[in-house]
Structure 1
Amino acid sequence: MPSLSSRANRGWWDGNADDYQAEHGAFLRDAGFVWCPEGVDEADARLLGEVSGRDVLEIGCGAAQCARWLVTRGARVAAFDLSRGQLLHSRRIDEETGVRVPAVQADAESLPFAAESFDVACSAYGALPFVADPAAVLREVRRVLRPGGRFVFSVSHPIRWAFPDDPGPRGLTSDRSYFDRSPYEERDEHGALTYAEHHRTMGDWVGLLAASGLAITGLLEPEWPEGHDRVWGGWSPLRGRHLPGTAIFSCARI
């Protein structure tokens, strides 16, 4: 059964998919692989290695912009997202571009794919920040990867949780403990959960990956690039000059 976080986030993303794509779609590009608000592009970073001829899974694909880029690079791609609203945008972009991605609606804590089906799995801010049980997701990722398979994912840098989610000067002063793992939650007037994000420290992520049988092979903390003036929520040039905003973990199935 889906967790409370999954049910709440599915509804939130369904309700906000149109606004999200309208605001960020041009930056993400219809067939582009952008890892984070800092603009790290897989075409340059090559964190996934060679993907041509390989079976690749995108986890929490949104409108499948990353998966679509992988298709253009010769990968055999499958993708999924929790939100039907986001997948409707994926279908729209498929029709507009002629580059089609097989995408299904699914929960990352219970993947609808056979064991050892993929050479590579990837997730650009998909699923992992929003799930209550990241260990379940990581176990599922390991299950569907072939031996030696690669998993690369980006999440908010854990240090950001000690600061207000504000792109301006207020966002430079810590106002809570880094070690406070209370989730960020939004609730309706009746107290029902409507949105959730979950905080893990850097040590938590290392422990979770080790326990799941995934070995960390790299960690990228992107610096804010010169000339990049785009504000995305709490990400901004001001904060990016002082604090890491994203952590990108590269892993291999043991």
Structure 2
Amino acid sequence: MKADVDVRTYNREAWDRQVALGDRWTVPVGPEVIAAARRGEWSVVLTPRKPVPREWFGELKGRDVLGLASAGGQQGPVLAAAGARVTIFDNSPAQLGQDRRVAEREGLQLRLVEGDMRDLSAFEDGSFDLIFHPASNCFVDNVRQVWREAYRVLRPGGVLLSGFCNPIGFLMDPELEQQGTLQLKYRMPYSDFTSLTDEERRRYTDKGEPLCIAHSLEDQIGGQLAAGFLLAGFYEDLHVEGDRLSDYLSPLCATRAVKPASR
């Protein structure tokens, strides 16, 4: 695949296909989850398994929340049912449609906006109190721009909650991993778009799967700090069951970062 293939276009179409296939991150929450959230009983995830600590959110009622690249009818509707004013921003029209389904079914107010997470020009400076950004920035090629835009659209004192992948998870030989052996094959910087042969890439494209880009921890964590955030929380998480690497380390990370009230 040529390096000039448009990352956003490919992954938008791929995530639309994942909705049709029923990928786990495209299945909307049920009415019982929304009913519980309205009672104050709720949790959401930035990474596959661990719920985000409730204290990371602070007070939600009446706060302006941006679900950044987080469509799929899962986290956004829960936060709206918990009392937040929620905007969902995502690259996939079909994923946004899942949020629309839940909103219509449950009578929730959700603002849905299609776009590229690297470009939040649809929003003015200081539009949100909190950004919820699950582990999805592996689907774009410039994560530092994501952090800069997130900083811009947050109000002073606002909070960015984000999940992301440890890049080591992208560097193993996938064929050997299926046989139970972990062996490094690729090196950083890594991208499914440019680091694989055409034959290797067909492992994903033949199934219509999104393609990923591994971002260094320097770009993930250091990029947030460079954008102006202060790191206020961190944890690691395992991947979904069946991931061999998770037998040895936690390949997902989550951060809580704060935009200072004054600079």
TM-score of Structure 1 vs Structure 2, range by shorter chain: 0.7 to 0.9
1:125 to 2:135 alignment: yes
Displacement after TM superposition at 1:55 (Å): 1.1
Question: 1:29 aligns to what?
Answer: 29
2:257 aligns to what SS in structure 1? Answer: strand
| Alpha-carbon distance in 1 for matches of 2:127, 2:176 | 41
Displacement after TM superposition at 1:169 (Å): 6.1
Question: 2:248 aligns to what?
Answer: 242
Question: 1:180 aligns to what?
Answer: 188
With over 3 angstroms needed to count, the CA separation of the structure-2 counterparts of 1:24 and 1:60, relative to structure 1, is: closer
Pairing 1:145-224 to 2, within 5 Å after superposition: 145-164=154-173, 170=179, 173-176=182-185, 179-185=187-193, 186=201, 195-222=210-237
Superposition TM-score, scaled by structure 1 size:
0.79
Q: Does structure 2 retain, via aligned residues, the 8 Å contact 1:153–1:248?
A: yes
Displacement after TM superposition at 1:69 (Å): 0.9
1:116 aligns to what SS in structure 2? Answer: coil
With over 3 angstroms needed to count, the CA separation of the structure-2 counterparts of 1:147 and 1:29, relative to structure 1, is: same
With over 3 angstroms needed to count, the CA separation of the structure-2 counterparts of 1:19 and 1:214, relative to structure 1, is: same
1:29 aligns to what SS in structure 2? Answer: coil
With over 3 angstroms needed to count, the CA separation of the structure-2 counterparts of 1:166 and 1:251, relative to structure 1, is: farther
Instruction: Write out per-residue CA displacement over residues 27-60 of structure 1, whole angstroms, 9 at most, x where no aligned residue.
Output: x73456222222x223x55432332221111001
With over 3 angstroms needed to count, the CA separation of the structure-2 counterparts of 1:15 and 1:253, relative to structure 1, is: same
**Unaligned residue ranges in structure 1 (runs of 5+):** 225-231
1:102 aligns to what SS in structure 2? Answer: strand
With over 3 angstroms needed to count, the CA separation of the structure-2 counterparts of 1:170 and 1:86, relative to structure 1, is: same
| Alpha-carbon distance in 2 for matches of 1:169, 1:218 | 34
| Alpha-carbon distance in 1 for matches of 2:108, 2:174 | 36
Q: Does structure 1 retain, via aligned residues, the 8 Å contact 2:16–2:95?
A: yes
Q: Give the CA RMSD over aligned residues.
A: 3.0
Q: Residue 142 of structure 1 aligns to which amino acid in structure 2?
A: Y
| Alpha-carbon distance in 2 for matches of 1:84, 1:171 | 37
Instruction: Write out per-residue CA displacement over residues 193-237 of structure 1, whole angstroms, 9 at most, x where no aligned residue.
Output: 98431112223323211221122222211257xxxxxxx4xx537
| Alpha-carbon distance in 2 for matches of 1:246, 1:209 | 16
Q: 2:16 aligns with which of 5, 10, 14?
A: 14
1:68 aligns to what SS in structure 2? Answer: helix
